[in-house]
Amino acid sequence: MKSLLRVVLVILVAAPFAAHAGQVREYWVAAESVTWDYAPSGKNLLHPGSDMGVWGKRLSYPKYRYIRYTDATYRTPIPQPEWMGILGPELLGEVGDTLKVHFRNRADRPFSMHPHGLRYDEDNDGADHRGAGAMIAPGKSYTYTWTLDEGAGPGPSDPSSIVWLYHSHVDHVADIYQGLIGTIVVTRKGMAISSADPRPRDVDRNFTTLFMVFDEEDGAEGGLKHAMNGYIFGNLRGLEAVEGERVRWHLVALGSEVDLHTAHWHGETVLDHGRRTDVIELLPASMVSVDMVADNPGTWLYHCHVGDHMTAGMMTRWTVKPRPQPTVAPPGPQPN
Minimum CB separation of residue 183 from Cu ion in Å reads 18
For residue 127, which of 118, 119, 139, 115 has the smallest C-alpha distance? 115
Measure CA 279 to chain center.
18
Q: Which is nearer to Cu ion, 237 or 261 (CB)?
A: 261
Give the chain's largest Cα–Cα span: 87
Binding segment (CB under 5 A) for Cu ion, from list 122-130, 158-166, 176-184, 306-314: 306-314
Residue 304 touches Cu ion, criterion: CB under 5 A: yes
Q: Which is nearer to Cu ion, 225 or 261 (CB)?
A: 261
Q: What is the dihedral of CA 35, 184, 250, 178, to 10 degrees?
A: -20
Site string for Cu ion, 123-142 (x = CB under 5 A): --------------------
* In the complex, residue closest to Cu ion by CB: 304
Rg, C-alpha atoms of the chain: 22
Minimum CB separation of residue 262 from Cu ion in Å reads 7
Among 65, 309, 317, 318, binds Cu ion (CB under 5 A): 309
Residues 6+ apart with CB under 8 A from 71: 28
Binding segment (CB under 5 A) for Cu ion, from list 27-35, 111-119, 287-295, 307-315: 307-315
Residue 224 touches Cu ion, criterion: CB under 5 A: no
CA distance 103 to 89: 12
Q: What residues are paired with 92 via a beta bridge? A: 185
Q: Which is nearer to Cu ion, 247 or 280 (CB)?
A: 280
CB 148 within 8 A of CB 96: yes
CA distance 283 to 21: 36
Residue 303 touches Cu ion, criterion: CB under 5 A: no
CA distance 19 to 21: 6
Minimum CB separation of residue 261 from Cu ion in Å reads 3
Burial of 37 (0-12, 13-18, 19+ CB in 10 A): middle
Minimum CB separation of residue 304 from Cu ion in Å reads 3
Q: Which of residues 66-85 bind Cu ion (CB under 5 A)?
A: none
Q: Which is nearer to Cu ion, 118 or 306 (CB)?
A: 306
Binding segment (CB under 5 A) for Cu ion, from list 67-75, 111-119, 201-209, 254-262: 254-262
Binding segment (CB under 5 A) for Cu ion, from list 81-89, 98-106, 151-159, 314-322: 314-322
CA distance 237 to 209: 11
Among 20, 63, 225, 261, binds Cu ion (CB under 5 A): 261
CA distance 33 to 67: 10
Among 31, 113, 290, 306, binds Cu ion (CB under 5 A): 306
Where do contacts with Cu ion occur on this chain (CB under 5 A)? 261, 304, 306, 309, 314
